[in-house]
A and B are shown apart, each in its own frame.
Chain A
Amino acid sequence: MLLINMEFAPDKKITSNLGMVQGSIVKAKHVGRDIMASFKNIIGGELKGYTELMNEARDEAIARMVEQAESLGANAILNVRFATSTVTANASEILVYGSAVVLEDR
């Protein structure tokens, strides 16, 4: 599955549009990581555990979107966009959406 965040692929042409697909996930923080994070809140710096956590969550949301696109028979998703929102103080929602299409080589 090819993901592109533009509405076209320069080397390919769109043969059919299959509509919007999306995937979302709500992820809560890990207690162990949170203890480390509250320490880091004093000295500052990158929270590597959270960076990884968000990365994994985003990959999962993408996987759900890709699954939906595959069931429609698409081979690419164009115009991919991410949205992140905080549900509670301890959980965040990640949404990814785009347009499922069938691409063919020019």
Chain B
Amino acid sequence: MVMPIELFFLLGLLVLGYVAGRFNEKRHYRSIREGESRFRDLLVMNGRRLPPHLLKHQARMVSGNVVISVDYFKVILAALRNLVGGRVTSYESLIDRARREAVLRMQAEARELGAEAVFNLRYETSRISGDATRGVGSMEVLAYGTALIPPQ
């Protein structure tokens, strides 16, 4: 029996996507957890009511962004999920990673300025490439907020 070459190609992409995507995601989550424990003492709030001890601080805007791509396996998984509906867990982890990474980069910028806290955090999410027929492609997440720097 002769298998069509396209099928082999597709299977190859699927396997490559699964293996490399898995590896990338695990490695990324490990670095996110490390970063989050490093910045645990840098308070991030999405409100803007300042506690009394921060009222004399200098304010400066900080931001962090990341563009993250899906892997081929996830695209196929999501396409299959579209047939029956329900939670698309393969994209959930993608966007979760991007959001947490963006916040970490914002915190790194705030830490460099010597900030004590970041208030009024806002997220901005957008799709960079890909269209309706090709699935998500890649997502950009921007996190920004106001860093509060102790007065000299």
Contact = CB atoms under 8 A, between A and B. Distances in A.
Query: Which size class do A's interface residues fall under?
Result: 35 or more
B122 A44 contact: no
Contact of B127 (A4, A40, A86): A86
B42 interface: no
Q: Is the interface of A mostly helix, strand, loop or mixed?
A: mixed
Interface residues of B, number: 49
Given A43-B71, A51-B67, A92 B48 contact: no
Interface in B35-62: 48, 50, 54-61
A54 B71 contact: no
Contacts, number: 131
Contacts of A102: none
Interface in B59-94: 59-61, 63, 65-72, 74-75
Contacts of A55: 65
A11 B67 CA distance: 35
